[in-house]
Amino acid sequence: MDTYKLDEFNVEKINSMLSRFGIAQVDNYIVGHELNNLLVEFDNLQALVQQDEFEFPHQVDEICCANIRLEKKIVNTNNFPHSSALFFSEAFENLSKRYFKTSSVSFNEELFYCKHNESDQRINSLPYIFHFDKMHTLKYFLYLNDVGEENGPLEVVLRSHKQNCRLRKKYLRNLQDLDNVVDPSICAENTPLYALAGTLFVFDTDISHRAGHVMNGSYRKVIRGHTRLSSGSKPGNFLSRINNYFTN
């Protein structure tokens, strides 16, 4: 079936969908008390940071959103038991190693707790315009609230990841020279990812994507983890894996 959607987490099926579409969606991945516990962790963190009472190292970006970055060592079982149980799970780690075709991955070394708030008009800058990431990343992206049109859903251009990967490959040695903003004219057939709270998206950041426009007092709450090739990976092996990627 020609779809990027699943109703269960299956490493082989998700890996196949990532190769074909650049993204996989797992509906109802987190539900009930588990979802509520994650939402409580999220809201408590946002409140502490807003009140300048969060004592651990963190970074905050604000462009119509509160985007809090935490290193893996902070998101432990004591401070964030529910986030750590999900984002550092064996299932996520196995998928990461399977997708990158190596055990040398920096597995969810940073988590982002992001609340996108409303804006009067669409913002014409990253991450609200179509782009791909300069640093090749596998993202685990969890909606914490139901996301419809007014919540500014994540938007993607299915199957765009291989073309963008070819472009990124040309600039491996000089990523600062890479223009990773995608021409809007080739993103007309984009897919807004409307979904219920607890939906998990796993996507290759070579896919053209953008944050949607949040409207009318709405918001979008997301926790996402970033996995990349380990910095210890040898450049030759890295290039070999990219070449293998194009043949799969």
Q: What is the pTM of this model?
A: 0.91
According to CATH, the superfamily of the domain at 5-247 is q2cbj1_9rhob like domain (2.60.120.620)
- Copy the structure tokens of residue 77: 């079982």
Parse the chain into domains and list their residue ranges.
5-247
Distance of CA 194 to the CA centre of its chain: 15
Better-predicted residue by pLDDT, 231 or 9:
9
The radius of gyration of the chain's CA atoms, rounded to the nearest angstrom, is 17
pLDDT in tens, 45-68: 999 998 998 888 787 766 678 899
Instruction: Compute the residue count for the chain.
Output: 248
Please name the residue that has the structure tokens 């055990």: 103
132 touches 164 (CB < 8 A): yes
- Copy the structure tokens of residue 231: 């910095």
What residues have CB less than 8 Å from 91, skipping those under 6 apart? Answer: 9, 11
Better-predicted residue by pLDDT, 187 or 177:
187
pLDDT in tens, 130-169: 999 999 999 999 999 999 999 999 999 999 999 999 999 8
Better-predicted residue by pLDDT, 88 or 50:
88
